[in-house]
């Protein structure tokens, strides 16, 4: 029980809690990498927004802080929880389901 209580809420519950409706802690998206850049976690969403074709992103501590910009249709439902409390994921443009 103590171990579960010390895990980030996102991982312990398996639920991603979206902050401001467009980013969350302890989550990632599979594949669709467009490019990456060494930048702070706080700057990752803005960098994605300023990068043509970037629709979503993941930030990790790898190599001093890396923003993984991603492309293609995406929904927040495509994100999956991780056990890394410092990882951030977010969407700039959430694709609407096809009718």
Place of tokens 């629709």: 55
**22-91 has which fold?**
Hepatocyte Growth Factor (3.50.4)
What's the confidence (pLDDT) of residue 9?
44
pLDDT (tens digit, 9 = 90+) per residue, 36-76? 999 999 999 999 999 999 999 999 999 999 999 999 999 99
Listed by start position, the domains of the chain span 22-91
pLDDT (tens digit, 9 = 90+) per residue, 9-36? 444 457 899 988 799 999 999 999 999 9
Beta strands in the chain (DSSP E): 23-25, 27-28, 33-38, 54-60, 66-71, 80-81, 88-91
Q: pTM score, two decimals? A: 0.81
CB 27 within 8 A of CB 79: yes
Cα four-point dihedral sign 52, 60, 37, 34? negative
């Amino acid at each position: 029980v103590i171990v579960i209580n010390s895990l980030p809420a996102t991982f312990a519950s398996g639920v991603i809690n979206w902050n401001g409706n467009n980013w969350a802690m302890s989550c990632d998206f599979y594949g669709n990498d467009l490019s990456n850049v060494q930048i702070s976690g706080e700057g990752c969403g803005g960098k994605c927004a300023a990068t043509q074709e970037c629709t979503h992103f993941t930030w990790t501590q790898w190599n001093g802080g890396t923003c993984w910009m991603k492309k293609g249709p995406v929904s927040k439902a495509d994100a999956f929880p991780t056990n890394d409390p410092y990882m951030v994921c977010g969407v700039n443009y959430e694709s609407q389901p096809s009718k």
